[in-house]
Amino acid sequence: MDIHNLFRHWTYRIFAPGTLVREQYEAFRTVLAADTRAHDLMAELEEIVAHRRRMDMAAAAALCRELTEAVGNMVEGLTRIAPLENLSLKEVFRKIEFYLSLRLAPPEYPFTPPYTVFLNEPQANDQTLTGGKAAQLAELVSRMGAPVPRGFVITTRAFHYFLEDNDLKERLREGLRALDLSSYASLEAVSQDIIQWIRAAPVPPEVQEAVEQCRKALWGDTDHSLQVSVRSSAVGEDGELSFAGQFSSVLDVAPDDILDAYREVISSKYTPSALFYRVHHGLFDLEQPMAVLVQEMIAGRTSGVLYTRDPSGGDDQTMTVHAVIGAGEFLVSGAVNASLYVLGRGTDTAILARPSNHEELLNDEQLRELAGWGTRIETARDYPQDIEWCQAGDGSLHLLQARPLVSAPPPDPQEETAAALPPDCEVLLQGCECAAPGMGAGPVFVLERDADLAAVPDGAVLVSRYSRPHYAALLGRLAGLVTERGSKAGHLASIAREFQLPFLARAEGATTRLHSGRMVTVDARGGRVVAGNIVPAAQPAPSADSDFIHSPFMRSMHQLLALISPLRLLDPESPGFQPENCRSLHDLIRYIHEQAVRAMFSLSTSKGRVGRGSKKILSALPIQLYLLDVGGAVPPECEALTELPAAQLCSRPLAAIWQGLSDPTLSWAGPQHFAWGDFSSIVDGGGLLAPDAPSLASYAIASGEYCNINIRFGYHFTLVEALCGEQASVNYCNFRFTGGGGRAEGKALRLLFLQGVLEGLGFLVTSKGDLIDGRLKEVDCAELHPRLVSLGRLLGVTRLMDMHLSEAEQVAGLVADFLANRPLDIEHA
């Protein structure tokens, strides 16, 4: 229980009721502002799930924390307005907040040794410790004795220790919060900051020592000509998702430079394309820690890639070998075109096709040795393989990487149909290599330099000289991809197949023959680019959403929304409409808003005298109205006055209501307005109160944008509460009418009239006995103002209506006249 808040409330209530009302009003404004913010945030979180919006979990978590803060402000505001009625509210909020915080808390990762593991150790097979690439190579060594270069792994625990020791985890979360996947400029900006932080951070001494011990154990101190490769091995890499080419490899590294190369590789986890790839697939940052593989560098005479099946989804009975002179990095990075061999899958491994340029880089024996390893690995893993290899100067074969092959789906019948082009179709390019199948149409964007990547529009066909892996950051927004170099063996081709994006490689002359802005269709299986859009209308757009729906990000969002979105508190009149029954933030939002409005509304219904500091409103109308200004309802020069001319009112809603009350068509003739409900208090010390006694008056609480007014007319009273500000989403008007001194039939007919008018003005109306409530919300101030004027007129025309109405047929005509702004002749209706 908040004793301090209760004591403050009762002190003001007894000694300074005017101050209490102002405090309550300020708290109410806090509730309204926080309510708007909470609804906006809740809607944004729900939209992320409904529209499957990609974002880093750090950004989604930040939205959840902002939502929790907004609801906390609502809780605080309501306990200031009505502390006695909401004693348990804070405890309920803290409980829901606690469960949310458990969902949002990042898991703890071990950062204790081992910081290094030799590739031939049993521990190296543990992907959570050594990452995907290293674990798969370790398995080849331990299970098959495959020819894998010697090396060791700097583990994922070293990565976590690196972040922990340099206080980088919170900085990473802050950086990733700002990531906008739809903007390449945002990807670049976030990437640049994070890479800078990592490159500038020192490697912890314990990790340095472990690396040095492994280096000495493998290679000693004598061979100063030794060079190593330092390559990525993130958790999840080379698994169901390839991450092909998204992380760095540093080749020809001297032993003294291993730690610098280590920082370069782990920082590549945050390149624009790597960030895009991870977030696009709904993966969490620290659940993909980076291990680093350090191996003896093999000076490759020939290098390349072996696919044990056709990655384009075509012929399933062949293997393909892509080979280049020197390091294979030039091939997979798309910098050069490869020599292609096609091998049969039989026991004799027939050579079905050789390079068309007659450049024989591998003889038949070497091809069969390579195919033999491919077959063995595929059989052991029961899945087609994508194997990187190199051949040393002495002719020996070395396997550098083996991962599941990312294959395209089988040909679509729509694509087969499209093979027959329309007779008037203009073929712009043909004879290109299908790196990733499919059809897509869009305007051409010729990329002259990488600095222009941020300018590539959504839905474009990207045309470039090179097939670079970092173009992956754009693949989710493209209609197609055409490059002059590269092949289906490149890293970018693997990613394009994952994204089901049509990709043509070896498209000679593409950057000169295709012009930016021209609409073209990429027919990848046909190996061509044609003018215009010939994609079949029935062809569905490729989508990776089916995988994203089941991603860690989406699973986590559904768990969070279970504590945020469900609304169980539906009926404010139900006995169960209590804080103890709130099970979600939405329940709390609903409860607090409803109770805050009721509490402010009750200010006008409470018995007692007008508060100190109020001003009497002066006008020609026979209405005793006292105003309590809580900020902005009166001009500054009138703040010290005790009486205020009605023309000086600055409150938008109150001035509008008064405008309606002052309508010249209204007649104020007839009996004086007398509050018979106060008759028992009239006798005071043996005499009568004056007719203008404040206890018999109407009164209002108002600011520049808000008013809460109680108009007492003889036997009935009317309450109007309204907020009329610049923000339509928080504007509202509540109307309540009760009482009456006429015949029961007349009172019932007046309620029918009120209901007809209020519904005609757009209010949601409910009635019970002689009480009628109308609610209007989320309206622009320009729309609310004339409705408030109409409510003022309504107060004037209904004051004695119950004494004159006798037939139900009268009501419809009166409602129509009122809504048409025609004068009402109630006595002769």
Give pLDDT tens digits for 738-750.
Answer: 765 556 777 788 8
Determine the 3-state secondary structure of 649 from DSSP. coil
Tell me what the mean pLDDT of segment 324-332 comes to.
73
Q: Name the token pair of 360.
A: 């024989």
Count of beta carbons in the 10 Å neighbourhood of residue 67: 23
Q: Is 127 helix (H, G, I), strand (E, B) or coil?
A: helix
Tell me: pLDDT of 192 over 90: yes
Helix H, strand E, coil C: the string for 371-406 is HHHHHHHHHHHCCCEEEEEEEECCCCEEEEEEEECC
Confidence of residue 677 (pLDDT cuts 50, 70, 90): very low
Q: Which residue has the higher pLDDT, 594 or 163?
A: 163
Lowest mean pLDDT among 256-265, 523-532, 609-618, 773-782: 609-618
Q: Which of 474, 427, 428, 465 is nearest to 446 (CA)?
A: 465
Q: Flag whether pLDDT at 222 surpasses 80.
A: no
Whose CA is closest to 222, among 246, 248, 199, 255? 255
State the average pLDDT over residues 749-754. Answer: 89
**Do 132 and 239 form a contact (C-beta atoms < 8 A)?**
yes
In the sheet where 397-404 sits, what is the strand order? 351-353, 339-344, 318-325, 300-307, 385-392, 397-404
Say if residue 702's pLDDT is above 70: yes
Determine which of 42-51, 338-347, 546-555, 596-605 has the lowest per-residue pLDDT on average. 596-605
- Provide the pLDDT for residue 738: 75
Q: Which of 36-45, 181-190, 242-251, 800-809 bottoms out in mean pLDDT, i.e. has the lowest?
A: 800-809
When the pLDDT of each residue in the chain is averaged and rounded to a whole number, the result is 85
- Centroid of chain to Cα 206: 39
**DSSP symbols for 488-520:** TTSHHHHHHHHHT--EEES-TTHHHHS-TT-EE
Order of strands, sheet of 503-505, starting from the edge strand that comes earlier in the sequence: 427-429, 528-531, 519-523, 439-446, 461-464, 480-483, 503-505, 433-436
The pLDDT of 14-36, averaged and rounded, is 72
For residue 441, is pLDDT > 90? yes
**52 torsion bin: left (phi>0), alpha (psi -120 to 50), beta (else):** left
Average pLDDT over residues 154-162: 98
Q: Which two tokens stand for residue 537?
A: 């209308």
Closest by CA to 655, choosing from 794, 792, 823, 818, is 792
Residue 670 confidence (pLDDT): 58
Q: Looking at per-residue confidence, does 504 or 604 come out higher?
A: 504
DSSP letters spanning 59-111: HHHHHHHHHHHHHHHHHHHHHHH-TGGGTTHHHHHHHHHHHHHHHHSPPP---
3-class SS of residue 285: coil
Q: Is the pLDDT of residue 51 over 80?
A: yes
